[in-house]
Amino acid sequence: MEEAAAAAEAVVVTPGEVLGKASQVRAGRGAYVAPHNNLVYASLTGFRRTLSPPPNSPDQRPTVEVTGHKAHGAVPEPGSVVIARVTRVTARVASADIMCVGPKSVREKFTGSIRTWAGGSIFGEEEVSLAIKKMNGDKAPGSYGFDIAFLPKMLRSGQSRGEVAIGLLCKRQQDVRATEIDKVDMHLSFRPGDIIRAVVLSLGDARAYYLSTAKNELGVVSAESTAGETMVPISWTEMQCPLTGQIEQRKVAKVGG
């Protein structure tokens, strides 16, 4: 990790102040380049900092950025990890209210949705591969038309066949017929009121951001049982109520480690 020789000057800049020429400095956070005169202006109110460039990059201009005395509140962006509360669960879509983006909480909630047909939105590829490898193959053939043991063999046999196997189970649209899509039941993964950790896939549509829980560390973080107690996770698909001992199905997030 290269040392950013951040010369933290206590110079306050306001939007529209010139920070330098585009030929000499690069615009970082809180700054932008005006195309018509190639000057770098500040776009935020804050303290001006200059970061030296990484030694191996071809572009040796220092980066100038304005670190927010006050940056605007958190907004979900593709790739950011969010904490959300599930509001509605139907067979194919789970709606959630995004409450935190990264470490910051939002002032007003944003709406997100987790959808099954987006391909591996709930269970990710590594999780499915792990599950397949553990299978023994002594079960009856499913509606795929072949013995389930075929899948681990496909995985071991090579890259492309393994991908088809994962695609079948992860419901990628190009690999699966339309009738196969609803194999994953939302109600076995989330219930209304659960707190989940998810990653933002994209800006989504006008109504909601598209979220995904397709990694080990994503999924239900905290849930209440029907008895009202906070449940304890016992596996990656089950949680148990400490009061009644009842086991409920959830897609559990792997916390820590």
Partner 1 sequence: MAGKPGTTPTTYSPSPTTQKTRRPIFNENDVDWVRPDGRGFHQCRPAFFRTGAVNAASGSAYAEFGNTKVIVSVFGPRESKKAMMYSDIGRLNCSVSHTTFATPVRGQGSEHKDFSSMLHKSLEGAIILETFPKTTVDVFALVLESGGSDLPVVISCASLALADAGILMHDLVASVSLSCLGKNLVIDPILEEESYQDGGLLITCMPSRYEVTQLTVTGEWSTPKINEGMQLCLDACSKLAKIMRSCLKEATSTSQE
Binding residues vs partner 1 (CB under 8 A): 12, 14-18, 30, 32, 34, 41, 43-47, 68-73, 75, 107-111, 203, 205-207
Name the token pair of 59: 């572009």
Tell me whether residue 48 or residue 215 sits nearer to partner 1 (CB atom).
48
The nearest distance, CB 257 to partner 1, in angstroms, is 34
DSSP assignment letter at 182: G
Name the token pair of 160: 């492309």
Tell me whether residue 2 or residue 9 sits nearer to partner 1 (CB atom).
9
Tell me whether residue 15 or residue 62 sits nearer to partner 1 (CB atom).
15
Tell me whether residue 69 or residue 88 sits nearer to partner 1 (CB atom).
69
The nearest distance, CB 190 to partner 1, in angstroms, is 21
The nearest distance, CB 72 to partner 1, in angstroms, is 4
What are the phi and psi torsion angles at 177 (to 5°)? Answer: -70, 160
The nearest distance, CB 93 to partner 1, in angstroms, is 15
The nearest distance, CB 68 to partner 1, in angstroms, is 6
H helix and E strand count, the chain: 3, 16
Tell me whether residue 69 or residue 183 sits nearer to partner 1 (CB atom).
69
